[in-house]
Amino acid sequence: MTTLLLILVPIALLDSASIVPLCVVPLATVVSGHRPALGALGFLSGVFVVYVAGGVVLLFGLDALFDALAPGLARWWNDPNTPELL
C-alpha cells in the first residue's frame, strides 16, 4: 500500500501542475487578485489534494472490488462447470 501511495502522489502532483484547460480561467482569476503568488499556490495545492484524494478513493475502491470478486473467480478458475467451459 505504501508503494502505491508513493507512486500516486507524484502522479497527482504532475497532473495538478499541468493544469487542465478547464482550470485556466479560475487560475487566471486567482492570479489577477490581490496576492497572486499565494492564490496560485493555494489553487494548485487544492487541485493536488483533490487528485490525491480521488486516487486514494479509487485505490481503496478497486481493492475492495477485487477482494469481493476473488473468491468467485478462484472457484470458477479451479472448478468450472460445463456451461462455463462452453
Range of the domain at 53: 2-77
Residue 86 lies in a domain: no
Residue 85 lies in a domain: no
Lowest pLDDT segment from 4-8, 18-22, 26-30, 74-78: 18-22
**Number of structural domains, the chain?**
1
Residue 64 lies in a domain: yes
- Which residues, 6+ apart, have CB-to-CB distance to 50 below 8 Å? 16
- Predicted confidence at residue 22, as pLDDT, reads 66
Residue 84 lies in a domain: no
Are the C-beta atoms of residues 39 and 33 closer than 8 Å to each other?
A: yes
Residue 22 lies in a domain: yes
What confidence category does residue 73 fall into, taking pLDDT thresholds of 50, 70 and 90?
Answer: confident
pLDDT at 49 over 70: yes
The model's pTM? 0.53
Based on its alpha-carbon atoms, the radius of gyration of the chain, rounded to whole angstroms, reads: 21
The pairs formed by 43-51 with CB atoms below 8 angstroms and a separation of 24 or more are: 44/16, 44/17, 44/19, 47/16, 47/19, 47/23, 48/12, 48/13, 48/16, 48/17, 50/16, 51/11, 51/12, 51/15, 51/16
